[in-house]
Amino acid sequence: MTRSISIFGATGSIGDSTLDLIRGDRANWNVVALSANCSAEKLAALAKEFDAEIAVVGDEGCLPELRAHLSGTAIEAAGGEQALCDAARRPADLTVAAIVGCAGLAPTMAAIEQGRTVALANKESLVSAGHVMTAKVAQYGATLLPVDSEHNAIFQCLQGNDLEDVRWITLTASGGPLRTKTLAELDAVTPAQAVAHPNWSMGAKISVDSATMFNKGLEFIEAFHLFPVGLDRLRIVVHPQSVIHSMVEYRDGSTLAQLGPSDMRVPIASALAWPRRMDTACKPLDLPAIGELTFFAPDEERFPATKLAREAAHTGGAAPAVLNAANEVAVAAFLAGQIRFTQISAIVARTLEHYAPTAPQSLDDVLAVDAEARVHAGAMMELA
């Protein structure tokens, strides 16, 4: 049976992997909306290839270019934040949330408020909105299918089990490209070194997050909201081969793990086909070739991000949104060559110390905290 799909962040790394799967299963999908920020030419090409109903750029200034590339077709073109939310309200059997950063929050919430099934890659939106988002999911009967490989693994390991029987949820972390660097070496890391991930090919922001371990910190908070077993039952282990994507240990001593190649098409396919399975062209796991799986405790001296995230999760309220916003600002500044690698966590820590707003109760509150935290993080950067 044909299903309809909208993909927000269609021109990114997750967008590419999702559309690759749809391309291989074309007859079964009807594409409703595709979005980008400003990659108008690529978005128009995808909209034509997949015969989308509408293409939307988040940056309204890029709408004329999108219109020009779509002229002579029946595909609608739109631009701006409101247009993203309007497109997210269009009926679709599945909405893929793959915009990077808190910019994805409003369209994701718009889909949730329609009671949609949302395949969630955009972890920053859940970290920032937290209970505001999960309460809307419950209120509108929406479904969140985790696409982040760790959370997708946990989701799979929990099938047929009860959260009450969970002893531990263990998130695995590759440790990123800088895992073995000393603090002095970390201080001199360039953006090119930080984005060169050994196992995964991803967008620039999440690649830097993997290098700082903020990715795992954000994922810790993401897991807390997706799988409410309590913060004390969540832990992180470094596993450089990225073969085990996460694990669930039950109270009888059984640990279930999900394994697979380091290819985001696997967790995305699991969300696309859920609750069934679909074929993918991914390379099968070759365990003899991999040979060894190793595990280490995280080193929070060199990589304080997971500690900062855990503390923000314990503080609750607005702290995770502040942490996320400060990290987004710091990562952008690092990629632009304005700050050193080790300053990213320092700026996040200082922003959290200096800005402690009250807990957000609505989407508007979350967006206000996010905007203000960015200003505070900018000020901390001036001091850095």
Does 36 participate in binding ligand NDP (rule CB under 6 A)?
A: yes
Residue closer to ligand NDP (CB basis): 15 or 304: 15
Q: How far is the CB of 149 from Mg ion (least distance, A)?
A: 5
Mark 97-136 with x for binding to Mg ion (rule: CB under 5 A) and - for no binding: ----------------------------------------
Q: How far is the CB of 141 from ligand NDP (least distance, A)?
A: 24
d(CA 284, CA 272): 19
Write down the residue that tokens 């609608």 correspond to. 76
- Please give the C-alpha separations between residue 36 and each of 150, 227, 286, 331, 375, in angstroms, as whole numbers: 25, 30, 35, 20, 25
Does 249 participate in binding ligand NDP (rule CB under 6 A)?
A: no
CB–CB of 101/205 below 8 Å? yes
Q: How far is CA 285 from the centre of its chain?
A: 24
DSSP E strands in 100-160: the ranges are 117-120, 143-146
How many residues belong to the site for ligand NDP (CB under 6 A)? Answer: 27
Write down the residue that tokens 């069934």 correspond to. 276
Does 339 participate in binding ligand NDP (rule CB under 6 A)?
A: no
Does 370 participate in binding ligand NDP (rule CB under 6 A)?
A: no
Residue closer to ligand NDP (CB basis): 9 or 298: 9
Beta strands 255-259 and 244-250, pairing class: antiparallel
d(CA 88, CA 351): 32
Q: How far is the CB of 219 from Mg ion (least distance, A)?
A: 5
CB–CB of 29/54 below 8 Å? no
Residue choice 63, 126, 264, 369 for contact with ligand NDP (CB under 6 A): 264
Q: How far is the CB of 255 from ligand NDP (least distance, A)?
A: 23
Q: How far is the CB of 318 from ligand NDP (least distance, A)?
A: 20
Closest by CA position to 208, among listed 377, 328, 375: 328
Write down the residue that tokens 């077709």 correspond to. 73
Burial of 377 per CB tally in 10 Å (0-12, 13-18, 19+):
buried
d(CA 151, CA 222): 8
Alpha helices, H only, 213-252: 214-226
Neighbours of 338 (CB within 10 A): 12
98 makes contact, choosing from Mg ion, ligand NDP, none, with CB < 5 to 8 Å by partner type, with ligand NDP
Neighbours of 235 (CB within 10 A): 17
Residue closer to ligand NDP (CB basis): 79 or 298: 79
Tokens of 67: 């219109």
Residues 124-163 that bind ligand NDP (CB under 6 A): 124, 148
Residue closer to ligand NDP (CB basis): 62 or 186: 62
Q: How far is the CB of 122 from Mg ion (least distance, A)?
A: 12
d(CA 170, CA 246): 6
Residue closer to ligand NDP (CB basis): 92 or 100: 100
Residue choice 16, 148, 209, 263 for contact with Mg ion (CB under 5 A): 148
Torsion 49-50-56-57 (CA) sign: negative
Q: How far is the CB of 31 from Mg ion (least distance, A)?
A: 25
Residue closer to Mg ion (CB basis): 150 or 370: 150
For residue 356, the 8-state DSSP code is -
Does 177 participate in binding ligand NDP (rule CB under 6 A)?
A: no
CB–CB of 103/78 below 8 Å? no
Residue choice 18, 122, 343, 351 for contact with ligand NDP (CB under 6 A): 122
Does 121 participate in binding ligand NDP (rule CB under 6 A)?
A: yes
Task: Select the span of 3-11, 170-178, 247-255, 294-302 touching ligand NDP (CB under 6 A).
Answer: 3-11
d(CA 313, CA 67): 43
9 makes contact, choosing from Mg ion, ligand NDP, none, with CB < 5 to 8 Å by partner type, with ligand NDP
Does 200 participate in binding ligand NDP (rule CB under 6 A)?
A: yes
178 makes contact, choosing from Mg ion, ligand NDP, none, with CB < 5 to 8 Å by partner type, with none
Residues that bind ligand NDP (CB under 6 A): 9-15, 36-39, 58, 98-100, 103, 121-124, 148, 200, 202-203, 205-206, 264
Residues that bind Mg ion (CB under 5 A): 148-150
